[in-house]
Amino acid sequence: MHKKVVVITGGAGFIGSHLCDKLIKEDFKVICLDNLITSSTGNIKYLLKDKNFRFIKHNVTKYIDIRGKVDYVLHFASPASPVDYLKFPIQTLKVGSLGTHNVLGLCKEKRAKFMLASTSEIYGDPLVHPQPESYWGHVNCVGVRGCYDEAKRFSEAITMAYHRVHRLDTKIVRIFNTYGPRMRINDGRVIPNFIYQAINNKPITVYGEGKQIRSFCYISDLIEGIYKLILSGINEPLNLGNPREFTIIELANLILKLTKSKSKIIFRPLPEDDPKQRQPDISRAKRILKWQPKIKLEEGLRMTMEWFKTEIILALLNPKKA
């Protein structure tokens, strides 16, 4: 029986590598493309010996040549942390524009099904709360975060154009804050920052007054939702995330409690265009996919902390590799 072949761009990244795991377990053949600008082969090292897995180091802003049949293409390549896309703004814009165009071209050639990893950032600093898929967003296109926000908004636009003009079967997943094992120690997002600081008894840096609202989805919940979406008939954008809200100061105090850290909380000025609230409306995912997250924040944080502790020890033992 022919195994379905899936190409995953950004497959060595945080979410991409977990997606590789899932699809290998579901009996797919996986071709992982990644230029490793913000990811690591360490995330996929245990898959490299699997006969159904293949890694190709490649920048998707360049022409993509894949021999043979391809059934699905999942475009997850992009810097996703503010630290990364502020460091690589042009690369972020190119992977969202040229990269998405190249990947859609591959889909058109192979008549493959396509999924775009979009983001809650397309809603910007939202004026509607929670954010449904019908909300058009409130984005500063020339602000420092515009390189990521507008790259993803363009990606969505060209995806829908290929769907309408070339009749490609396309999916768009708008991913809200996700956390878990394989996030980098220096990722720059709030949960890795707080965990690293707390474990090392360093000051917990909270921006603004910590009253910003966020919702956090554990990686296994997100991957299950993505898998359901891949197999669905949905072509319009779909939110995936955990709708339970927390303020940043609540998150900081919870991590201090779980780590039993001696760290103190310190406050820093709020970054430019930092969203004041972010919460997904997942009504459509519940209704159509029969999906909703299961892992509570405290449980997910405990699992993430155990992974971080191991990574920190490894970094200390092998500082050059870190």
CA dihedral 68, 228, 55, 175 (to 10 degrees): 130
Is 148 a catalytic site residue?
A: yes
Stated as kind and residue range, the H or E segment containing 164 is helix 146-166
| Cα separations in angstroms, 14 against 83, 108, 200, 233, 283 | 15, 27, 23, 26, 26
* Rounded Cα gap, residues 82 and 273, in angstroms: 11
| Cα separations in angstroms, 214 against 88, 176, 179, 210, 280 | 25, 9, 12, 10, 9
pLDDT tens-place values along the chain, 322 residues long: 689 999 999 999 999 999 999 999 999 999 999 999 999 999 999 999 999 999 999 999 999 999 999 999 999 999 999 899 999 999 999 999 999 999 999 999 999 999 999 999 999 999 999 999 999 999 999 999 999 999 999 999 999 999 999 999 999 999 999 999 999 988 889 999 999 999 999 999 999 899 999 999 999 999 999 999 999 999 999 999 999 999 999 999 999 999 999 999 999 998 777 788 899 999 999 999 999 999 999 999 999 999 999 887 777 667 655 4
* Rounded Cα gap, residues 92 and 81, in angstroms: 11
Domain 5-180+217-243+279-295 has CATH 3.40.50.1820: no
DSSP 11: T
Delimit the domains of the chain by residue range: 5-180+217-243+279-295
Give which of 254, 251, 144 is closest to 206, Cα–Cα: 251
CB 167 within 8 A of CB 114: no
| pLDDT confidence of residue 41 | 96
Active-site position among 85, 148, 162, 196: 148
Question: Which amino acid, residue 294?
Answer: K
Stated as kind and residue range, the H or E segment containing 259 is helix 248-259
Cβ within 8 Å of residue 138, ≥6 positions away: 123, 124, 125, 126, 127
Condensed to tens digits (0 to 9), the pLDDT of residues 32-81 reads: 999 999 999 999 999 999 999 999 999 999 999 999 999 999 999 999 99
In the block, residue with structure tokens 């515009």: 146
Condensed to tens digits (0 to 9), the pLDDT of residues 230-242 reads: 999 999 999 999 9
